[in-house]
Structure 1
């Protein structure tokens, strides 16, 4: 049973931080670091660019990362459908994102996915 969009809200609402994540092949991906329920009205806003004359504090603030840390088109999909951020050793950046509709099942403090770990977008 693989529903799309907001139909996954009851499933994603059962996920908690610290749960183990297993991909479609049974490989352990990592642990849930963040659970974000979908917002059908979500929009993304491009981060402001730093003014070269800005103070150091303004420069640091302008480069602060907000979730999800992925390209804007993917961020919009993640925010719209809901997502998990999973801490993992499988990618250089240490985290991947799971769309809500990629969750197959939740049981025994584990989240099983419908896709292999290689299909999960890494954090930038």
Structure 2
């Protein structure tokens, strides 16, 4: 992992669920719902291919949404670099994703981003 990737992972490792998230303009976006550290070997996301069984548990498992819930090319980038899922009222779906390299600082229980909220991809 290169130095920038190592720094991103160190930064994202300081983020915890429930932290406030603000964008580059200082506007509050929402709170961290999920923290996922990067996996440099991640290249793709595959949809589940298992045939759901007849039990309720098997049906629920078969319809569960895998994270991140975004188009495959973006999902691969998120998984590779690491990401935050942020609960927000700014997106129709109730959540947006933040690439690890978009985190400017983590301090005082707050995550500050280096982009405005409008540039964050929404959950599908």
TM band (smaller chain): 0.7 to 0.9
Determine whether 1:32 maps to 2:36: no
Counterpart residue number, 1:103: 103
Counterpart residue number, 1:10: 10
Q: TM-score, normalised by structure 1?
A: 0.86
Give per-residue Cα distances to partners, 1:58-104, cap 9 Å, x unaligned: 66543320100000000000000000000000011000000000000
Gaps of 5+ in 2: none
Counterpart residue number, 1:44: 44
Q: TM-score, normalised by structure 2?
A: 0.86
Aligned-pair Cα RMSD in Å: 2.1
Range 95-104 or range 6-15, more displaced: 6-15
Q: How many Å separate the matches in 2 of 1:111 and 1:32?
A: 9
Q: How many Å separate the matches in 1 of 2:4 and 2:72?
A: 20
Counterpart residue number, 1:88: 88
1:43-62 → structure 2 map (5 Å cutoff): 43-48=43-48, 60-62=60-62
Counterpart residue number, 2:119: 119
For the Cα contact (< 8 Å) 1:44–1:72, is it kept in 2? yes
The Cα of 1:42 is off from its aligned counterpart by: 1.0
For the Cα contact (< 8 Å) 2:45–2:75, is it kept in 1? no
Q: How many residues are treated as equivalent by the alignment? A: 121
Counterpart residue number, 1:79: 79
Gaps of 5+ in 1: none
